[in-house]
Amino acid sequence: MGRLLRFTRNVKKMKKNRIFLLIILFLAILAALLFLSQSDKTFRGSQSDFSVKDTASVTKIFMSDKNNNMVTLSRDPKSRWMVDDNYLASTFNLDMLLQTLHNLAVKEPVPLAAHNNVIRELAVNAVKVEIYQEVYRIDLFNTIRLFLHEKLTKVFYVGGATQSNRGSYMLMENSSTPFVIYMPGFRGFVSPRFTPMVNAWRDYTIFKKELPDIVSVQVEIPIKENESYVITNNPDHTVSLYSYPDMEPISVFDTLAALNFLTGFRNLNFEAILSDLDAAKKDSILTSTPFTIITLTDTAGIRKTIKTFFKEGYGDVDLNGHEIRYDLDRFYALVNDGEDFVLAQYFAFDRVLRPRSFFMKDPLPLR
């Protein structure tokens, strides 16, 4: 009986030891894989490896310069690119930046004779670029992948163009060897694509609504109140026209013109943010009477408004010798709940800058 008890104890002890050994072995394998993974990353992060091949894994890009300009471009939970977590980013500009990062190539190290000058130039005028990606703590031969997390994977400095304007000077952090970097197939230099200016990355969209997403558009024309109106997009796929502000229905109007007006909100963008405009001039414009106030309400109940203002002319005269008071190509606008004062083009907006009478006859666009 005693022998049986001792045998049972020994068996249990062996099982415990085996489990303990298996845990030790597993931890050792994890440590080895982690070491190999980190060694592989260190190799890839060499002093001349500026490109990012897996741009789909990029989660954040931070850029700054010596003048305290800085911007953070990051993906939000909906995978939309945002600017400083406050504004939607321009899809076109972000795609171009990611494509640039993917295609960066080394042309040559900076020649020894120019080395010191380039280093000094980079120290003063370079843009610092930080790349963050989703990576695995353990990634063995792209097969065994464990523990996904965000990591700072590259830090480099982007300088100016070479004398030939066919390359840009770049330097990896903690390296003393600058390189001439170019993009195969691109005639020019890539430095301007790495700008820390916030407005360069913002989405310039004012309205981007398809017809089924629009409930109504209200157009106020303060300088001609009898030309104000509201067009509604009805659930039965018809449109209605009302006077404004009394909301009297107008039974006879050009429904095709009204539908064409509503489809004009599919993609309306402004041209530039006027953040550097003289404060006194800006105040003078904003205290003047807007020539239109357009408010679009969508199916989610969200209202978006744009106020438009005439832009001063350039002293030109028309064919009759009369001074042209206002710019015929561009106008000012207040958008994004009054946050942004911008410049926009009539070419893009003429389709929606219509007086009420336009839907009963065919006058010129409101100017």
Cis peptide bond N-terminal to 212, omega within 30: no
Q: What is the pLDDT of residue 292?
A: 97
CA nearest to 221, candidates 75, 367, 78: 367
Mapped onto helix, strand or coil, the DSSP state of residue 326 is strand
Residues 275 and 140 in one domain: no
Give the total number of structural domains in the chain.
2
Residues 230 and 334 in one domain: yes
Residues 94 and 141 in one domain: yes
Answer for the pair 132, 23: CB distance below 8 angstroms, yes or no: no
pTM for this predicted structure: 0.77
Residues 215 and 187 in one domain: no
Answer for the pair 194, 183: CB distance below 8 angstroms, yes or no: no
Residues 146 and 266 in one domain: no
**Mean pLDDT throughout 108-119?**
94
Q: State the pLDDT confidence band at 36, using cuts at 50, 70 and 90.
A: very low
In a domain, residue 70? The reply is yes
Residues 333 and 249 in one domain: yes
* Backbone angles phi and psi of 34, in degrees to 5: -65, -40
Q: What is the mean pLDDT of the chain?
A: 87
Under DSSP, the state recorded for 316 is -
Measured CA distances, 60 to 8, 71, 131 (Å): 59, 10, 6
Answer for the pair 220, 230: CB distance below 8 angstroms, yes or no: no
Q: What is the pLDDT of residue 321?
A: 66
**Mean pLDDT throughout 158-182?**
94
In a domain, residue 142? The reply is yes
Q: State the pLDDT confidence band at 143, using cuts at 50, 70 and 90.
A: confident
In a domain, residue 258? The reply is yes
Higher pLDDT, 44 or 106: 106
Of 155, 172, 200, the last residue of a domain is: 200
Answer for the pair 215, 298: CB distance below 8 angstroms, yes or no: yes
Q: For residues 276 and 199, what is the distance between their CA atoms, to the nearest angstrom?
A: 11
Residues 153 and 72 in one domain: yes
| pLDDT above 50: residue 2 | yes
Residues 296 and 182 in one domain: no
For the record, the structure tokens of 199 come out as 């407005």
Q: What is the pLDDT of residue 47?
A: 78
125-129, 222-226, 260-264, 360-364: least confidently modelled range: 360-364
Residues 180 and 262 in one domain: no
Residues 167 and 112 in one domain: yes
| DSSP codes joined into one string, 337-364 | TTTEEEEEEHHHHGGG---GGGGTS--P
| pLDDT above 90: residue 204 | yes
pLDDT digits (tens, 9 = 90+) for 144-160: 778 788 999 999 999 99
**Mean pLDDT throughout 170-174?**
94
Residue 280 belongs to domain spanning? 205-359
Residues 152 and 65 in one domain: yes
Residues 152 and 231 in one domain: no
Under DSSP, the state recorded for 144 is E
